[in-house]
Each structure stands twice: as C-alpha cells, then as structure tokens.
Amino acid sequence: MTEKELLLTALLNCKRSDLYTGGVSLDDKKEEILSSMLIRRKQGEPIQYITGFTEFMGLHFKVDNRALIPRPETEILVEQTVQLIENHFSGKDIGILDLCTGSGNIAISLAKSLENVKITASDISDRALELAKENAVINNAQGKIGFLESNLFDKLSRDRLFDIIVCNPPYLKSDELEQSPIELSFEPRIALYAGKKGILFYSEIIKQAPRFIKKDGYLIFEIGFNQLRQIKKISDASKKFVLEKVIKDYNNIDRVIFLRKVN
C-alpha cells in the first residue's frame, strides 16, 4: 500500500480495495483528520504512529510514542527463536524472558507461535509496559505473559532460571543522535540509544544474564550494524557463553545472535 492508502484505510477502517470500489467516502470531519495526518507525516512523524498500528509477524500491534515501532528485522529474531525451541526444546515447558519488551511485539508473537511457554516481558518504562499489556489483550496472549517493570534484571526473582532470554536492546551510538533521520526523533530515546559505542546493554546483559539462564539455555540478541565483533569479545571474556549462531538480515547484515550458556 502507498502511504496515502495506509492513512485512508486506517482512517476509514476499510480494506485497500474498498478505496477503489466506491463503498467508502470522506465527510468533512474525516477530510479534516486526513489533512492533519498528512501534515504530521510531512513533519516526519512515522506513519505507524499516525495510523496507530503496525503489523509484526502477521499480528496487529498498537503503537504510539510510548515505545519503539517494531521493525521487520526483529521478525528474524522471533522466527529463529521459534525454530530453536522446536528443534531443541520440543515438548518441554519453556520459560522465556523478553528484556526491553517495548510494545511487547517479541513476547506476544512468541506466545502466539508456541504452545508450552511462559513468558516474562520486562521493561524499564512503565509507559511501554502499559502499551505491551494492551497489545497482549488485543492479541489474546495475556494468559502466557507476565509483565514486569524492571531495569534489566533488577526486579527479577533470583530463584528463577529461564531457558531462553531474548532481547532487542537499544543499540544505536549516542553520537548517531544528531545524524539520525527525523523519523527516529519521534521514538523514545531510551529505546534507541546505548552509549558511545551502542553496546552498553550487551555488556550489562552478558554480565548479569548467567545467573538467570539454565545451563545450555540461550541468550538471543538482535544486534546493530558492525557490532558482532565487539559483542563476541565481551561474550568470550565472560567465559559463560559460546557464540553458536549468527543470522543475517535481508541486507546481509549480521542481525541476530545465539549465545549458548556453557557453564
């Protein structure tokens, strides 16, 4: 769909084909809303914030400035995690922690794709968590997900070990802030930027995660452009994980990594 079609179908709550078969029309009120939508778009606001939703893993997610807009690359993390569970953990009850859940896209799509999972979805932002809870209800996934407001592992019980931790943390370098496209300025900064090198969260999570993952469990990250080498170094130095798999995205960029906990 073109952007105009996206805006119109969202505004009129109709299908693309309805726009051309004459079944829908714009009254004065809707005309007014459409022109304000077009102005917002011209000012650089992401279209998903204007329509109020996005698709992720074929599911409908509400989005607004409380959380990052789910990106298509992140679907790779979800697909690969589902595959890993089907191959290595099939038939077992699996505990998953989704750190930095944001809109809840990863936790919710995992919950919809897998049978025997219990997922904890955490985020430091109470506003993001509210949105994630709304998305769990929209997608009827609330039964499998518990939500937790926590700065990484701070509020997690020390007695509970997860089979898998997934995380798409903020990973942009802080000096990219200036040259970033205008669209990014509409999204929460805390969901995007991660210190000078963009690897702040990877080092912190690799440091703390071993206490929360079972032996032979996995820490699965989405990573940023050119970060693989640095993250591998941190992981190797921890002596707790081996880098088992690296998956590239549609642009041939290393995007998702599996770290297996070895001791």
Minimum Å gap between C-beta 251 and ligand GLN is 17
- 168 is an interface residue for ligand GLN by CB under 6 A: yes
Q: Which of 8, 50, 70, 131 binds ligand GLN (CB under 6 A)?
A: 70
Measuring CA to CA, which residue among 53, 46, 58 is closest to residue 9? 53
Measuring CA to CA, which residue among 177, 170, 72 is closest to residue 124? 170
Report the alpha-carbon distance of residue 236 to residue 242 in Å, rounded.
7
CA 243 from centroid of its chain's CA atoms: 22
Strand ordering across the sheet containing 94-99: 145-149, 117-123, 94-99, 162-167, 213-222, 254-261, 241-248
Q: Which of 97, 100, 165, 206 binds ligand GLN (CB under 6 A)?
A: 100
Q: Which of 106, 119, 136, 164 binds ligand GLN (CB under 6 A)?
A: 106
Q: Which of 48, 80, 81, 105 binds ligand GLN (CB under 6 A)?
A: 105
Cβ proximity to ligand GLN, 166 vs 259, nearer residue: 166
Query: Quick one: tokens of 39?
Result: 């102005």
Q: Tell me the window of 30-38, 108-116, 162-170, 254-262 that interacts with ligand GLN (CB under 6 A).
A: 162-170
- 224 is an interface residue for ligand GLN by CB under 6 A: no
The SS3 of residue 220 is: strand
Q: Tell me the window of 2-10, 13-21, 29-37, 101-109 that interacts with ligand GLN (CB under 6 A).
A: 101-109
Report the alpha-carbon distance of residue 70 to residue 136 in Å, rounded.
15
Residue number of the CB closest to ligand GLN reads 102
- 108 is an interface residue for ligand GLN by CB under 6 A: no
Query: Quick one: tokens of 128?
Result: 């993001």
| Positions that interact with ligand GLN (CB under 6 A) | 68, 70, 74, 100-102, 105-106, 168-170, 191
